[in-house]
Amino acid sequence: MTEFSRRRMFGIAGTGVAIVGAGAAGAGIDRAMSGQSAHAATDIVPFHGANQAGIVTPAQEHLHFASLNVTTTDRAKLVSLLKEWTDAARRMTGGHEVGTTGAVSGSLAAPPDDTGEALELPASSLTLTVGFGPSLFDDRFGLAGKRPAALAELPSFPKDNLDPARSGGDLCIQACANDPQVAVHAVRNLVRLGFGTTEVRWSQLGFGRSSSTSVSQTTPRNLFGFKDGTNNLKAEDPAALNDQVWVAPEDDQAWLAGGSYLVARRIRMHIETWDRTSLDEQQKVIGRTKGSGAPLGQSAEFDQVDLHVHGEGGELAIADDAHIRLASAESLNGAKILRRGYNFVDGSDGLGHLEAGLFFICFNRDPRKQYIPMQRALSAHDAMMEYVEHTGSALFAVPPGVSETGYWGDSLFG
């Protein structure tokens, strides 16, 4: 057995490079050793910590998001599932198979502990983030007195066209990874463990991150072809994260301290209409140039946005209805959000159009003060609304991070 395969089998993180795959030694290691895996050096994201991973973690390339209904009314069964999920998440984010015997080492007479499609794949920076929806705090589990006031169904916004089958949910699982199969494997195995306790309500695959959450990342482009995530909150700004993302003990319910609120919006982008729009109009809609991503009136991507600068004709460089003006902290009493969305293309609509868009995810400390006023301004005035349609919506409270002996939600249920 080589040193690499020994480390991988026993999950030993090496000198800063933790190369661990789910299962027997194989292709994952070979790829990583030969430099073919672009993500090997940061392959494992620590699962334990004060805050859950998958929020300020540098956004990975792929997403599988699932919203679930709890089908039992037995609180003990729900708690037991959260414990099982935590153990499975510890293993999968560490690059290991689910269960003690995994995909191929168990009894021939029983279904395997792990479904197997991530065998030989490295951990791929998998993060698993869990959230609790407002409906979990009804009368089923004795949690009504523990619902934070901010955890209420989102209001309807002008021009919303929400599909109830793509909205809401008691629980959510956000799986992000640099390999789509690793993200899908993780959600599939958690859903499988939940059989008899939870069922999938809706789910969404996302490819291509549409934001950056760390200064170490380049800014990706969304399906409108614009750099997206330039003026996002970043992991390297802890003061802003404390102010805008992490719930503080004094905010409301103590169990949520160190957590956050996740807003998910499935936003269809009418790309065929957009693609027939002039470059000048596209740039005016966003408020930035398409090439460099510079704010209109400035010259480079990370130049400060100036909402008051005027163009040569005397008009505002960034129009009154430009997306970045309406979503700016300056227009919203200082409110900011941490965006962490993904592109999606879910086939076509049968009418000759791609069913494409942005699965928008953001984290914020209080949606009543941040996401909701921002969305109200955008839904009412944003020039981009002519090209987009909100088709799904959900809000979840994301509990704080898990200790080495704890489980997801222990501050709420414990």
Ligand X SMILES: C=CC1=C(C)c2cc3[nH]c(cc4nc(cc5[nH]c(cc1n2)c(C)c5CCC(=O)O)C(CCC(=O)O)=C4C)c(C)c3C=C
Structure tokens of 226? 């614009």
Structure tokens of 131? 């959230």
Site string for ligand X, 333-352 (x = CB under 6 A): ----x---------------
In the complex, the smallest distance separating the C-beta of residue 371 from ligand X, rounded to whole angstroms, is: 6
Count residues binding ligand X (CB under 6 A).
Answer: 28
The number of residues making up the chain comes to 414
Site for ligand X in 199-228 (CB under 6 A): 222, 224, 226-228
In three-state secondary structure terms, 335 is coil
Between 119 and 271, name the residue whose CB sits nearer to ligand X: 271
In the complex, the smallest distance separating the C-beta of residue 376 from ligand X, rounded to whole angstroms, is: 9
In the complex, the smallest distance separating the C-beta of residue 313 from ligand X, rounded to whole angstroms, is: 23
**103 near 116, Cβ under 8 Å?**
yes
**15 near 368, Cβ under 8 Å?**
no
Which helix or strand (DSSP H or E) is residue 389 part of? strand 388-398
Site for ligand X in 282-311 (CB under 6 A): 286, 288, 305
Site string for ligand X, 360-399 (x = CB under 6 A): x----------x--xx--x---------x-----------
Between 45 and 337, name the residue whose CB sits nearer to ligand X: 337
In the complex, the smallest distance separating the C-beta of residue 135 from ligand X, rounded to whole angstroms, is: 22
Beta bridge partners of 227: 221
DSSP class per residue in 154-200:
PPP-TT----GGGS--SEEEEEEESSHHHHHHHHHHHHHHTTTTEEE
Contacts 24+ apart (CB under 8 A), 233-241: 233/336, 233/337, 233/338, 233/339, 235/56, 235/57, 235/58, 240/336, 241/56, 241/338
Choices 166-174, 276-284, 326-334, 348-356; region in contact with ligand X by CB under 6 A:
326-334
Site string for ligand X, 17-56 (x = CB under 6 A): ----------------------------------------
Q: Which residues neighbour 250 within 8 Å (Cβ) at sequence distance 6 or greater?
A: none
Footprint on this chain of ligand X (rule: CB under 6 A): 222, 224, 226-232, 265, 267, 269, 286, 288, 305, 323-324, 327-329, 337, 358, 360, 371, 374-375, 378, 388
